[in-house]
Amino acid sequence: MKKVLDWSAYYDQGLGDAYADIPKHGEDFAKAISVCIRSGVCQEADNRGVMCPSFRLSEDPLLSPGGRVTLLKQLLNQDEQAFLADPQLAESIAQCVSCKGCKRECENNLDMAAIKVEYLAQKRRAGHHSFRSWLFAEFPYLLYEFPFLGRLIRIRNRSKILRILAGKLLAINETIALPEPALKKYADDYPQQQSNEKARDLTDNDACIVLLVDSFTALFNPNTVTDALNVLNAAGYQVITVHPDSSGPEKVIDSGRSLFSQGYVERTSEQAKNLLSILRPHITLNRKIIGLEPSALLMLRDEYLMLNLGEEAVLLAKNTYLFEEFVAREQVAGRFKVTLNTTANEKRILVHGHCHQKAVGAMKSMRKVLRRVPNLSFQFIEASCCGMAGSFGLEAEHATQSKQMAEQGLLQALDADPSAVVICNGFSCSHQILALRQRKAIHLATFLASHLQ
């Protein structure tokens, strides 16, 4: 099997009985699957904290990480191609929301989200194409190339007939609104942040940082960029922004998350190389690269290392931080010198974590940063995946599961506190909250910007 991802890191991963029953076909991809030692931890129905949203919902072992592995092993033992045609595996993989819960909680760190990408890419290579999948993969790039699509989305969201039509023709979930781009995207001509009067000496490498703006934030939440710049500037950093338009209209600069999630690995590598070439001068200087949207930024730290991008990608991964991780880290180092004040009529705060934030332990940073605001009353929502998970909640066949996942904690917490401010850094989760409860969640950067002295 010619694999699309680099699985060599799995050469010696795993504990105990891992690798005891590596399937005959698939080489190092088969090894990555075989790290599962069938402990069954991911299939304990009475374990409320069980990692996998599709298993939590269905209690069907075949919809758990371990169940998916069992199917894959059986099929990869038959021949190299059998796993691509099996309908049971196709369904089981389709219900994986790529939350990385297994990577975080399985004792052998099974990475089903990456396995799913290899599976999707192999399927495409074997001739299984889907126009909808291509549409979701290329969504941000299409919006850059054809801005009128934003208007079309707004019309579709308000027209019952168009919703039904898109459901019939493209299998898009007609019960939910699609995310609507802002009227003006973030670019160099976006109304700028406050001047940076407190900028520190640029010979101090820690004072000069790069804010990497992903396409979803630039297109849908451009004000979040301005808010992040205001906060970072107020704390004395010199911020260089790199955004999708940074290299002109011909090339959209982006992490490639939407492409990767749909298994378009070659296109993702193209995007990654473009991004690396733009970031090269900063990587060489060991500058910190800060991102706002968890799944977009964490690509650089995780998935890029499976794309054969060389040493530069390793260096980049080491210097990449989520906004909250960076602020928390700087706070601890005593370099984040801003005063945050409670506002008049401060409301209670609910915080919803993106699955990928949770997978890398970034919620600790969220807590640390929020504690910086005096007397703030905030609560983390106890929930698993919000159910939107990239395109999952927009797919007609997943409409019910998506809503049910949201009902497992998230919606109850929102309903119990209708006037609370919701902080959520994930693009998909914020969209789910808006679509199902008409509440506009804000990014931590926006919250901090509104609390600057």
Q: Quick one: 375 exposed, middle or buried, by C-beta within 10 A (0-12, 13-18, 19+)?
A: exposed
Q: Is 106 in the site for ligand SF4 (CB under 6 A)?
A: yes
324 Cβ neighbours under 8 A, 6+ residues apart: 357, 362, 365, 366, 369, 425, 444
Q: Output the CA torsion 188→228→267→220 (10° steps).
A: -80
β-partners of residue 212 are: 242, 291
Cβ at position 408, least distance to ligand SF4 in Å: 13
Cβ at position 52, least distance to ligand SF4 in Å: 3
Residue 50 has what DSSP assignment? -
Q: Which two tokens stand for residue 292?
A: 């706002």
Task: Out of 5, 33, 89, 113, point to the residue binding ligand SF4 (CB under 6 A).
Answer: 113
Task: Out of 33, 71, 75, 96, point to the residue binding ligand SF4 (CB under 6 A).
Answer: 96
Task: Between 113 and 369, name the residue whose CB sits nearer to ligand SF4.
Answer: 113
CA 371 to chain centre: 25
Q: Binding-site residue total for ligand SF4 (CB under 6 A)?
A: 28
- Which regions of 255-375 does DSSP assign to beta strands (E)? 289-291, 320-322, 349-352
Cβ at position 99, least distance to ligand SF4 in Å: 4
| Distance, first Cα to last Cα, the chain | 59
Instruction: Give the interface segment with ligand SF4, choosing from 101-109, 176-184, 223-231, 443-451 (CB under 6 A).
Output: 101-109
Task: Between 88 and 277, name the residue whose CB sits nearer to ligand SF4.
Answer: 88
Task: Between 227 and 303, name the residue whose CB sits nearer to ligand SF4.
Answer: 303
CA 324 to chain centre: 15
Task: Between 53 and 291, name the residue whose CB sits nearer to ligand SF4.
Answer: 53
Cβ at position 17, least distance to ligand SF4 in Å: 9
CA distance 223 to 55: 37
Residue 106 has what DSSP assignment? S
Q: Quick one: 332 exposed, middle or buried, by C-beta within 10 A (0-12, 13-18, 19+)?
A: exposed
CA distance 72 to 75: 5
Q: Is 163 in the site for ligand SF4 (CB under 6 A)?
A: no
Cβ at position 44, least distance to ligand SF4 in Å: 9
Task: Out of 10, 23, 108, 293, point to the residue binding ligand SF4 (CB under 6 A).
Answer: 108
CA distance 31 to 221: 40
Q: Is 100 in the site for ligand SF4 (CB under 6 A)?
A: yes
Site string for ligand SF4, 3-42 (x = CB under 6 A): ---------------------------------xxxxxxx
CA distance 437 to 434: 5
Q: Is 99 in the site for ligand SF4 (CB under 6 A)?
A: yes
Cβ at position 393, least distance to ligand SF4 in Å: 13
Task: Out of 4, 30, 97, 212, point to the residue binding ligand SF4 (CB under 6 A).
Answer: 97
CA distance 394 to 376: 35
Cβ at position 437, least distance to ligand SF4 in Å: 23
CA distance 269 to 310: 12
Task: Between 97 and 278, name the residue whose CB sits nearer to ligand SF4.
Answer: 97
Q: Which two tokens stand for residue 444?
A: 């931590």
Site string for ligand SF4, 46-75 (x = CB under 6 A): -----xxxx----------xx-xx------
Cβ at position 178, least distance to ligand SF4 in Å: 23
Helix (H) or strand (E) holding 68: helix 65-78
Cβ at position 154, least distance to ligand SF4 in Å: 31
Task: Between 115 and 309, name the residue whose CB sits nearer to ligand SF4.
Answer: 115
Nearest to 33 by CA among 97, 89, 95, 94: 89
Instruction: Give the interface segment with ligand SF4, choosing from 95-103, 278-286, 300-308, 321-329 (CB under 6 A).
Output: 95-103
Task: Between 19 and 378, name the residue whose CB sits nearer to ligand SF4.
Answer: 19
Contact 170, 132 (CB under 8 A): yes
Q: Is 276 in the site for ligand SF4 (CB under 6 A)?
A: no
Contact 316, 291 (CB under 8 A): no
Q: Which residues bind ligand SF4 (CB under 6 A)?
A: 36-42, 51-54, 65-66, 68-69, 96-102, 106-108, 110, 112-113
